[in-house]
Each structure stands twice: as structure tokens, then as C-alpha cells.
Structure 1
Amino acid sequence: MRALLQKLSLTARLSLLFTTLSCAVLLVLGWFIGASIEKHFEEQDHHALSGKLELAQHIIERVTTQQDVNNLSDQLGDALVGHHDLAILVQDAKGKVLLNSSQIQFPDSYLHPRTNKASHELFSWDQGGQTYRGLVGHYATKNPQLPTITVGIATDIAHHKEFMHNFMRSLWLFVIAAAILTGALSWVAASRGLSPLRTMRERASGVTANKLNQRLSLEAVPPELADLAHSLNQMLARLEEAFQRLSDFSSDLAHELRTPISNLMTQTQVSLSQARDAHSYREILESNAEEYSRLARMIADMLFLAKAENGLSIVNREQVDLIREVQDLFEFYEALAEEKQIHLRLHYQTDQTNQHSNTEQDRLAFSLSGDRLMLRRALSNILSNALRHTAKAQDITVNLEAQADLVIIRICNPGPTIPEPHLHRLFERFYRADHARQHADGEGSGLGLAIVQAIVLGHQGKISVSSQDDLTCFTLQLPRATTI
């Protein structure tokens, strides 16, 4: 049954539910009305029978002699004149029948007296295909010497049963007709009520790779579906953004790979066009090796970013001394910095002191629990960019600040101010603020800052950039290390 319901459409389910509930309500209402009518008939019969029984009691209580007992049949018979639907049975304590206006057989359990007072308990029984409802009373005469008189009065309730039969038949016919009508109206109501879903489906079916900019109108849907429409719009926005990034990345990747591959093909074709000596071939192979190395680095960086997009996991977690790492990077870039007459400066401070010191306690304040090689690579990429864009005789500063639960790394270098529209895109793959810029050293594929961001996010940190007044600063916020 459950599997069958799951195959039904939502409109069919709602229609079936409304129809079932409507039928249930009608049936309960019909049962309540039938029970009320039946109770009304019982009260009506009880009132009529008890009235006649009280009349018989009044006559019996005036009996004083046996002759009066013998005359009871005439007196009680006269009392029922005009009531053809009533039957009366009168008998004494020994079971002698004094009056029986019809052939109705009263149940013996009610005729045998139990007390000297009438119980007036209404009861029913079947006889000869007919149903009767009656009352029995046991009354004492005025003369204590005379036996107790039992009086039973009954009425045929065939007309009541006929009425109830017709009523129940009409009720079932009405319920069937109401179920059909309710089912049809429920189907129409459900179809109209679910029309916004069909509209959403049509709009969603029209979304393709070339039409990801379509959105669902929140004003055209009811409040119950507004959240769903909003969620779908957010999903479409994410898909559009992801597809656009993928499209841009594919174009940029093709552009970046085209240059080294074209160089390799050109050099190889030129070298094969005529015979050369061993020295010339060696120079060509060395040039090709440089291009291959560039391609290998680019592919390795792309694999790293692909892994980062699926959740970069820090496997080799260890205690990292940021002061030592920055100092080691300064030593690595010292020759390049001296060549460009650039000074590399390190400043660090804690919440307790602004003084430079090398105590073990202060150095622990700038420790992180993370992957040392990844963090060094992130800092190296930023320093490499800073050296590339800093003019001669300028200073590159690295500021470390230890807070309660964070270590903030701020790397600043003087250079041309980056326009605001380009700042938020610096961390995109292959993005350059100046697309026409080509580096003489052949480095800078446009993946460095994207890798930095992936590493920082992998360490549950944040990265931001600001550029104004010819000063560009990258700010890294990383969780402060705990003892491991």
C-alpha cells in the first residue's frame, strides 16, 4: 500500500486525502445523527408507554375486590381505545392472563415480578419478524389480600426501523455522491494550488549551461514555497558562479598552456629543419627543459588546487614557529633582495609586550599547529610577489601579532596601488590585475595567490588584501597553536 501511494502524484495524494477525510467526517456525522434519531424514538416511545402504564397503575391501585380484578380487562381495554399501535397484557401473580389485546408474547424475564414497584425499564424484542418495544410494571391492589397485577404495554416500532433504513440508505448514497464530488473538487483545488510548483518546474527545466542566469520569481509563489524558491535561486546562483569560474579557468588554462607548448613546438621544428652541431642541440634541449619545468610546476599547482577544492586536509600537522619560518624565508630571498636593493624587515608583538625578544615564551606565542611546508609555501608565494612588484631601495615588512586565539601575519610592500575592482579577484586562478604584464623571469603563472588562499582556508584561517596610497598588504589570520 505504501509503495502504491509513493507512485501517486502529489495532486492524487492530496485529492485522496481530502476525499478520505470528507467521507470519514460525513460517516461520523451520519452515525451521530442516526444515533440521535434512534434515541429520540426511544424517548418518544418511553414517554407514550409510561403514560399508559401510569394510567393502568392508577386503575389497579383502586381495586379492592376480586370482582374488581375481573373487571380490569374492561377498564384497561377502554383506556387503550384509539391506540391501535399499542398492545397490553395483564396477568396476576400466578400467570393467569386477565387481558391480552394482541398475540404479542412479552419476554418472561420482564413479566415475573422482582419487586412491588414498576421498574419502567424500556426493552425491545423480536417476534414473528416484527420488533417491539415495551414496558412492564408490577402493581399491588388496594386490598393486600389480592395478588400483584403485572401489566405490560408494547408498541410495534416497524415504522421506526423503516425510517432508519431509508435514512441510512440515503446517507450512504449521499456519502458516495459527496466522495465523488469531493474527489473532483479536491483534484481541481490541488491542481490549482500546486500550479506554482509546475511553474517552478518549467523555469527549472529551462535552465541550461547557457541560461544559468534565470531565477524564480518570489512574488509569484505562495509563502509556503517562498523558502524553496529562494533556496533554488541560491543554488542557481552558486551554479552560475561555479560554471563561470570553470569557464574562465578553462580559458585561462588553455591560454597559459598554449605559450609553453607553442614554444616547444617552434623550437623543436626549427631544430629539425636543418642539421646542427651538438652544442646547438644542447642549448635547444636546455631551453625545452625550462619550458617542461614550467609546465610541471603549473600542473603540480593545479593538482594541489583541485585537492584543496575538495577539502584540503592537513595530514602532517606539527608545531610551526612562524618567527623562524619568516627568518628562513628572508635568508632564502636575501640574494634577490640585495640585487634589487630591497630590505626585508620582521616585526612581532604580543598582547603583553611590544618589544622584540627571542625568549622561548614569546616565540611560542607565534606557533601554529599545522603543516610547516604548506605554511612556508604560502608565505613564500606572498614574499615572491612582493619582491617582484617592489621598487628598488624600498622595504618589505612582515608584522606578526599574537592575540588571544589568533596569530595575525601582515605582509606589506610598497608598489602601485591595485584598483579596488581587482582586489577581490586576486585570489582567483590565473588572474592578474594587469593581463598585459609579462615577467621577464618566466615565473608567475597566476596560481600563487590561489594556492595561498587554499592553504590558509585549509588551516581554518582567513586571508584578505588591501591596497591604498601605494602600499599593498596581505593579512593572514590563523588559529593560535596549542601544545601538541
Structure 2
Amino acid sequence: MRVRSLAATLALAFGATTLAVFVLVGSFLYLALEKQIKAQDNLDIVLAARHARRLAEELETSKGIREHGDRLISIVLGNQAMSMEVFDPDGNRAVEHNIAGTFAVPNAASGAASGAATLAALPPLARVAASARITEADIGEWTGRNGAPIRGILTDARLRDGETASVLVARNMSDRWLLLDRYRDRLHLAGVAGVMLAMLLGYLLIRAVLRPLRDIAASASLVTVNRLNTRIGVARVPSELETLVASLNAMLERVDHGFQRLSRFTADLAHDMRTPLSNMRGAAEVALARPRSVDEYESLLASNLEECDRLSRMIENVLFLARAEHPQFVKHMREFDAAQELSHIAEYFEGIAEEALVRVRVSGTASLTADLELFRRAVSNLLANAIRYTPQGGEIVLDASASADAVRVTVSNEGQPIAAEHLERIFDRFYRIDPSRSSLPSSGLSRGSTGSTGLGLAIVRTIMELHGGSVHAQSDARSTRFVLRFPRAR
């Protein structure tokens, strides 16, 4: 099933919101209009009833009701919806105006009912006493003979002779119902048209607003293996998307850097693996060129075995670096005496140091929390490297020291200083300062020394990164120092 577009989803949401707003506003306007109309009609009915009672109270007798009927009726003339009936003290209808279909009451003049019965047949309205003030609360509601809604007031009026007449003022509300019905229909029509227009305009506006996202997608589609240096432009990106674009560009930067690093690593690995393979192949071809003695064949096999050991160490180190870069690489952290472990490592390399005619000395004291095997491997790589470049008769010092925030392990050796431009790059994979790529004879450095594979210092840096620490090199005419910094656990 095709997923609905973001623009369409937002347009529908915008339309639904607009519909809800129209419903709320339309309902408010409709109720407000209904209330205002009702209040105005109530005021008209109350004023007409007050005026009619006041005029009736000016009459001397009930006979004057019929004689001055036109004066009473003039109160509601001009409004086709207003009706009036005036009953004499005996309950007979004395005056009427516009009552056809308004009251469910028989016509007294037709003789269908007596006058008392005529007044009794009026809707069950509460009479307003002649001495009481007429208010909107006195208005009653009923349904006329034609089903029309009627609202009105029935009030008594005391004549000059003391008799009591009754005045009924009413209003047919059918026209108001029709007015409100038309108003409601127009609100519905306006609401539907408004929602459709809002959805259309919302869709167009949202598509225009989302154009930078399409531009970002178009720029991202230009990134290929051969164009990893392509970046997403940020010149016309809204401020809300600047963080997204910056994150994507940073990701592309990391991918580009990682790809270049992988390419260099692959090329260097192929170059370094080709060297021992070429040595083995050349030695074998020379040996097969003519018959050789047993000693010569044994020498050839020993040489090839050394090259095989070199390839094995290289493959082992490459696999270690690949595993170490995995996010789920497992470290077994424990606390140990760093100086004691340095002494053990120095003892392990004692034979190799004696062959190289160098001395190894351990100094300092510190307690360290780290992965013991990784610690041994890092120090062993640095010590093997120091033995390789320390002149005969020189001294190598392994030192451990502690501070408030970190434990530092230093491997220093005498010898030729390293140029400043090489101090940081020596930790890159397969990077060597010595163009001759001289190798230390394989002597079974099983704790991780790398001979001349060019990965020893890269492994040291990876181990320190796994511990959240760092490694750096210092070199001058006096000595070369590699400093491992292990942060203290918080």
C-alpha cells in the first residue's frame, strides 16, 4: 500500500483543523444570533404587553374595549408576526388582530363556544396580575393550529370601574425559524467551501514549504561512491532544517573520511602483504633454479617460516583492529598495579633486549583500572618499538605515575629524535618513518608485538580509545617518549 504523502497528510490535518474551527465559530455565531433574536422578540412582546395593559387601564368600562379596539390593536400593527386578543371581564373575546392559525382557540363570534370557554381554551399560560410588573420571565411558549411556534404574554388589566380584562400579546416565531434555518444552511455552505479552500491552499503552501526537503533529497542523491566529497548546500535552507543539513553533512564527512581511510588501509595492507609474499616467491624461485643442499633448503624453509610469521602477525593485528572498532567490543576492566605489570612485561622482553644490547628499567608506582590484556598489548607494542630503535648500550624506561584525574604510563628510549611532522602520523596504520621498513627478527612476541607490520602504534591508539584515554609522542635530542593516559573512573 502506498504511503500517503506528508503534504497530503498535513493538508488533511489542516482541513480538519479548519473544519473544527468553522464548527466552533459557526455554532457560536448561530447561538449568538439566536439569542439576540430571541432577546429582541422578547423585548418587543414585553413592551407591547405593557403598552396594551396601560391603554386598557385607561378605559372606563368593558364596553370601551370594543369602542377603542383600534387604539389597542395599533400597538401590534406593522408587524405581521405580532398578534393580540383582548377579553372582557366575562372572558369574551372583545378585540382580536392577526390570530388566524395562531391560537388553538375557537372563534367566539361563530358561537362554537361560550366566552368563558374561549378564555379557558387559551394555552396554559401564567397570568400576570394587573399590579405585577411584566418581564421576559412571563413569556410562555406554545404551538398554534398550523404547528407554528408561538411565544406570548397573558396579562390582566384593571379597568377604571374596577373590572378586570385580559390581554394576550403573542408573536409567531415561524419567520425567525426560517431566518435561522437559512443562516445555518449558509454557515454549512461557507464551512464546506472554507474547508475545501483551506485544504487546497494548505496543500500548495505545504508543498512550497517542503521544497527545501526536496532540494536536500536531490543533493543527497548526487552522493555516490565516486563523489563522497559532495555536500548539501545550506544557503537557502530554513533555520529549522539547518541542524538536519549540518548533521547530514557531518555524516557525509565521516563516511568520506572512513572510505578514504579504508582505501588507504586496503592499499597499505596489500603493499605490506605483497612484500613477504614476494620474498617467499623469490627465495623459492632461486632455490628451484638448480639443485640445492639440505642446509640451503633448511635455510629457505626457515626464511619462509619467518615471512609466514610476519603475515600471521599482520592478519592477527588487522583482525584485532576490526574487532576493536565494533561498538560491542568487550572489555574486561579490573584494577591492578601498573608498576608490577610493567615489571612483568620488562621481564618478558629481557631476552630480546639483551640480544639488542639495551637495558629496560621500570620506575614509579600507580594503581590502574583497565583491561589487563589490552594494557599488556599496548605497552608491549611500545616496548618492542623502543627496542627496535634504541642504539646499543641505550636504556629504555617504563614509568607509571598517577595524578588526580589520570594515570600515565610512559615508555621512553634513547635514540634519534622523531621529526615534529611525524609525531602524530606515526599512529596511523602502516605509517613508517623508516623508508627501509626494517624488521625486528621474529622472536615470539606473543603479547602483541607486531614486528614491522606497521600496525603496532595504530593498535596502541585503538586500545587507548577503547579506554577513553589517549596516547601521544614527544621526541627531542635526549629521548623519545610515548605517553599513555588512562582517565580515572568516576
Q: Counterpart of 1:61 in structure 2: which amino acid?
A: E
| Superposed counterparts of 1:63-74, under 5 Å | 63=59, 65-68=61-64, 73=69
Q: Contact (CA 8 Å) 2:49, 2:155: kept in 1 or not?
A: no
Equivalent in 457, 472, 481 of residue 473 of structure 1? 481
In 1, Cα distance between equivalents of 2:486 and 2:57: 109
**Aligned partners of 2:440 and 2:452 also within 8 Å:** no
1:270 to 1:340, Cα distance in 2 relative to 1, 3 A:
closer
Aligned to 1:111, what secondary structure does the other structure show? coil
Match of 2:109 in 1: none
In 1: Cα distance, 2:299 partner to 2:80 partner: 135
Q: 1:102-251 residue pairs with structure 2 within 5 A?
A: 102-103=99-100, 104-105=102-103, 110-113=124-127, 117=132, 118-121=134-137, 122-127=139-144, 131-142=148-159, 146-147=163-164, 149-251=165-267
- Pairing of 1:41-80 with structure 2 (within 5 A): 41-63=37-59, 65-68=61-64, 73=69, 75-80=71-76
- Indicate the SS of the match to 1:219: coil
Aligned pair partner of 1:328 in 344, 348, 351: 344
Residues 48 and 172 from structure 1, CA distance in 2 versus in 1: closer, same or farther, beyond 3 angstroms?
Answer: same
Give the aligned partner of residue 400 of structure 2.
Answer: 400
Task: Give the corresponding residue for 2:388.
Answer: 388
Query: Normalising by structure 2, what TM-score?
Result: 0.83
Matched, 1:38 2:40: no
- More deviation, 199-208/121-130: 121-130
Residue 133 of structure 1 and its aligned partner are, at CA, apart by 4.3
Change (3 A) 1:440 1:42: closer
Indicate which of 269, 277, 281 corresponds to 1:265: 281
Match of residue 10 from structure 1: 6
Give the AA of the match of 1:210: N
Measure the CA separation in 2 of the matches of 1:185 and 1:132. 44
Structure-2 separation of matches of 1:91 and 1:435: 130
- Say whether 1:446 aligns with 2:460: no
Task: Give the aligned partner of residue 410 of structure 2.
Answer: 410
Partner of 1:368: 368
Name the amino acid aligned to 1:293: D
For residues 262-300 of structure 1, give each alpha carbon's deviation from its aligned partner in whole angstroms, at most 9, with x where no partner exists.
233333444455554544433322222222211111111
Contact 1:111 1:136 in 2 (8 A): yes
**Structure 2 residue runs without a partner (length 5+):** 105-120, 443-450
Greater mean alpha carbon deviation, residues 383-392 or residues 125-134 = 125-134
* Alpha-carbon distance in 2 for matches of 1:329, 1:115: 118
CA 159–324 in structure 1, closer or farther in 2 if over 3 Å, else same: same
Cα pair 1:120 1:135 within 8 Å, conserved: no
Aligned pair count? 460
Distance 1:480 1:42 in 2: 82
The answer to which of 56-65 and 303-312 deviates more is 56-65
The CA deviation at 1:382 is 0.6
Residue of structure 1 equivalent to 2:309: 293
Distance 1:301 1:21, change over 3 A: same
Match runs of 1:327-366 below 5 Å: 327-348=343-364, 366=366
Equivalent position of 1:87 in the other structure:
83
- 1:398–1:409: 8 Å Cα contact kept in structure 2? yes
Q: Note if 1:458 corresponds to 2:466.
A: yes
CA distance in 2, matches of 1:472, 1:123: 109
Paired residue type of 1:283: S
Q: 1:367·1:480 contact (CA, 8 Å) conserved in 2?
A: no
CA contact under 8 A between 1:410 and 1:476: conserved in structure 2? yes
Verify the 8 A CA contact 2:61 2:161 in the aligned structure 1. Answer: no
Given residue 486 of structure 2, which amino acid in structure 1 is its aligned partner? L
| AA at the equivalent of 2:144 | Q
Distance 1:83 1:406 in 2: 99
The 1:411/1:48 distance shift into structure 2, 3 A limit, reads same
After superposing the two structures, state which structure 1 stretch, 328-337 or 193-202, moved more.
Answer: 328-337
Which residue type is aligned with residue 266 of structure 1? G
Give the structure 2 partner of residue 354 of structure 1.
Answer: none
Kindly indicate whether the alpha-carbon contact (under 8 Å) linking 2:408 and 2:484 is maintained by their aligned counterparts in 1.
Answer: yes
1:107-140 residue CA offsets vs partner (Å, 9 max, x unmatched): 9555343756344344555435564443213224
- The 8 Å contact of residues 61 and 139 in structure 1, kept in 2 or not, is answered as no
Aligned mate of 1:308, from 324, 335, 339: 324
Distance (Å, rounded) in 1 between the aligned partners of 2:159 and 2:396: 132
Amino acid at match of 2:454: G
Distance 1:390 1:94, change over 3 A: farther
RMSD, aligned CA: 3.1
Do the aligned residues in 1 keep the contact of 2:128 with 2:156 (CA within 8 Å)? Answer: no
Residue 474 (structure 1) shift? 1.3
Change (3 A) 1:401 1:82: closer
Report if the CA contact (8 A) 1:60-1:72 is conserved. no
